[in-house]
Amino acid sequence: MPRCTRRPKSPGRAHVPVASGDAPGGELKPSAELEREDDGRCIAETREIPGVMCYGTTREEAIGNTERLAIEVIADRIAHGELPASSLNLS
């Protein structure tokens, strides 16, 4: 599996979509920014949902972990009436 590449300490980060498809009707479609930590782990963070970030040994694992957490956060916000149910689209 490809590993996350080391990036120089700069404001730029890798930006990849977490979910595919368009985002009609105001749906949240999180994307991930990737970095590699000094210890070699990859970390993915969503820009659209503050605080959603996860580690992984590979970039794919970090993205997958972040995607799962983003879905959980969106579902929790829907359950508490903070977002409309149409915000979560798993297609």
Residue 59 token pair: 């970039």
pTM of the predicted structure, to 2 decimals = 0.64
Edge to edge, what strands does the sheet with 42-46 contain?
14-17, 31-36, 42-46, 53-56
What pLDDT score was predicted for residue 27?
A: 54
* Segment 36-70, tens digit of pLDDT: 999 999 999 998 888 999 999 999 999 999 999 99
The CATH number assigned to the domain with range 30-87 reads 3.30.160
Alpha helices, DSSP H, located in the chain: 59-79
Q: Where are the domains of the chain?
A: 30-87
Contact partners, residue 79, CB within 8 Å, separation at least 6: none
DSSP 3-state of 10: coil
* 32 against 12, higher pLDDT: 32
Q: Which of 13, 45, 14 has its CA nearest to residue 30? A: 45
